[in-house]
A = this chain, B = another copy of it.
Amino acid sequence: MDTPVLTSDGATADQLAVRRHNLSLVLSHLRRSGPRSRARIAQETGLNKATVSSLVAELVGRGLVEEGEAERGRIGRPGQAIRLNGGHHFAVGSEINVDYVSALAMNLQGEVVSERRVPLDTARLERADVLRHLVSIITGLVDRLQAAGARPVGVTVAVPGLVESATGTVIIAPNLGWCQAPILQEITALLGWLMLPIHLENEANLAALAELQTWDTASGHLLLLSGAVGVGGGLVSGGQLIRGSQGFAGEVGHMQVDPGGKPCGCGHRGCWETVIGLNALLARAADPGDPVRDPALDVLQRLEEVVARASVGDGRTLRALEATGIWMARGAGLLVNLFNPEILVLGGYFAVLGPWLTDPLRAALPDRVFAPEAGGCRLELSRLGFSAADRGGALRALSLVFADPAGVTGPTGTPP
């Protein structure tokens, strides 16, 4: 059963609001349940058939759904299946991280239709230069898709740091060296001609949203750990992202796990990312002159080299990975005690090196968790590579369309 149907009750309900609500109900039902006939939509949503036909006509006109094949295998006359239309609208998710900027476009069906990642030593560049690179990728994507007849519906930009979403300000992103930076305003100045909703959000929060789509959870309770130079956390409970009162929840990288340990970019000592961040691993695995430690090289190439060394049994690399996995258990045990997630997803570099990190982590975790058998928590490696935040950003932008389909115009440019 779906969300209760809003119907006008006497003179109290607003007819237009009811119509918009029902458009959203039908579009979201198709997303969740897959292509189906008008008759079946009516049956499953509780809306009557005439209403469904009218709603579907409007969604077709707006380019959001299309007629597919006749539905088979059901009793009665087969109807044309209605399905999401992937060809007319797309959302952009993009990310600024320490080693790269990236962006991708996702259509209404959740398919990635275009994507690009540019290695960039962002911490050594001026912020304006970083943003110019980012905007150039986004503009490239949008131009290409618009030329093919598709329309952008929104952009979300992910940043590894504390983000005040309401104002679009990066409060602090130590690994980028940014502080009180009005990023949304600066990006809007460069992308304003697009006339699109643009949002700024924490990288791990968005990645967690993308992971939630990927994994089958009974409880909708998932914790993502995103490994890069910094370490981010995104917590989803009952299918909802936990953002905290100001959007600052999930700052797992700055938990103090090693009192008296190494200084962190945040100004404190012994934060979790000083022992499990990418640079901590690489410092254990290689000497300063080693190319795997050169931030000017693409992080994926450097990780491939680490994988190659581990694969041939290089002792120093294997010891570095094991030490990192054990430090991961220190913080992960604490997080599992606090959140009791059903799935702990390792993303970013943790996923790339997962085959070597998970064994020591899995071995050490239960002993660090109060509940027996780590409270039923299972470890998984992200399948989204470094695109998780981009995907989550695109999903966030798409959610606006599913919440209010009447907000987008059709392929002809005018509302039907």
Across-interface contacts of A266 in B (CB, < 8 A): 370
B338 near A245 (CB under 8 angstroms)? no
Residue of B nearest to A367 (CB): B268
8 Å CB interface, A231-259 against B: 233, 237-238, 240, 242-252, 254-256, 259
- Chain B residues positioned under 8 Å from A333 (CB to CB): 256
* B248 lies within 8 A of A375 (CB): yes
- The answer to whether the Cβ of A300 comes within 8 Å of any Cβ in the partner chain is no
- Interface bin, chain A: 35 or more
- Known A7-B9, A256-B368; judge A243-B340 contact (CB<8 A): yes
Whether A246 contacts B7 in the complex (CB less than 8 A), given A171-B371, A337-B251, A338-B255, comes out as: no
A363: interface (CB < 8 Å): no
| Contact present for A370 and B172 (CB under 8 Å) | yes
- The reply to whether A334 and B255 form a contact with Cβ atoms under 8 Å apart is yes
Residues from chain B with Cβ under 8 Å of A218 in the complex: 245
Contact of B372 with A46 in the complex, beta carbons under 8 Å = no
Given contacts A242-B242, A338-B255, A340-B243, contact A48 B10 (CB under 8 A): yes
Any B CB within 8 A of the CB of A123 = no
Contacting pair A372 B171 (CB below 8 A):
yes
Question: Given that A4-B4, A9-B46, A9-B48 are known contacts, is A371 also in contact with B248, CB under 8 Å in the complex?
Answer: yes
Contact A342 B9 (CB under 8 A): no
Q: How far, in whole Å, are A341 and B372 apart by their CA atoms in the complex?
A: 28
How many angstroms between the C-alpha atoms of A68 and B230 in the bound complex?
Answer: 60
Question: How many copies of the chain does the oligomer comprise?
Answer: 2
- Is A280 an interface residue, CB under 8 A from the partner? no
Give chain B nearest CB distance to A91 CB in angstroms: 24
For the complex formed, measure the closest distance between the CB of A39 and the CB atoms of chain B, giving whole angstroms. Answer: 13
Chain A contact surface mostly:
loop
Q: Which of B7, B238, B245, B335 contacts A7 (CB 8 A)?
A: B7
Q: A332-355 toward B: CB 8 Å interface, digit per residue (1/0)?
A: 011101111110000000000000
Neighbouring B residues of A338 by C-beta, 8 Å: 233, 249-252, 255, 335, 338
**Least distance between A329 CB and chain B CB atoms (Å):** 11
Are A242 and B249 in contact (CB-based, < 8 A)? no
Whether A112 is near chain B, meaning CB under 8 Å from some CB there, is no
Task: Tell me which residues across on chain B come within 8 A of A13, comparing CB atoms.
Answer: 46
Q: A54 within 8 Å of B by Cβ?
A: no
A245 close to B233 (CB less than 8 A): no
Q: Is A219 engaged at the interface, CB distance under 8 Å to the other chain? A: yes
Q: Which residues of B contact A340 (CB under 8 A)?
A: 243-249, 251
Report the minimum CB–CB distance from A4 to chain B (whole Å).
5
Known pairs A9-B46, A338-B250; A376 contacts B245 (CB<8 A): yes
A6 lies within 8 A of chain B by Cβ: yes
Bound-state CA distance A259–B261 (Å) is 13
Task: Compute how far the CA of A252 lies from the CA of B338 in the bound complex, rounded to whole angstroms.
Answer: 6
- Bound form: Cα–Cα A250–B371 in Å: 11
Chain B residues whose C-beta falls within 8 Å of the C-beta of A237 in the assembled complex:
237, 240, 242, 244
Bound-state CA distance A12–B1 (Å) is: 11
Residue ID in chain B nearest A343 by CB atoms: B245
Say yes or no: is A131 at the interface (Cβ < 8 Å to chain B). Answer: no
Interface 1/0 per residue, A120-145 and B, CB below 8 Å: 00000000000000000000000000
Most B C-beta atoms less than 10 A away, residue of A162, A245, A254: A245
Could you tell me the distance between the alpha carbons of A371 and B250 in the complex, rounded to whole angstroms? Answer: 11
Chain B residue at minimum C-beta to C-beta distance from A12: B46
Bound Cα distance A65, B257 (Å): 54
- Pairwise interchain contact A370-B162, C-beta atoms closer than 8 A: yes
Name the distance in Å between A202's Cβ and chain B's nearest Cβ. 11
Residues of A whose CB lies within 8 Å of any CB of B are: 4-7, 9-10, 12-13, 43, 46-48, 162, 171-172, 217-219, 221, 233, 237-238, 240, 242-252, 254-256, 259, 266, 268, 330, 333-335, 337-342, 367-368, 370-372, 375-377
Cβ-closest 5 pairs across A and B: A244-B340, A245-B342, A248-B340, A219-B245, A254-B370
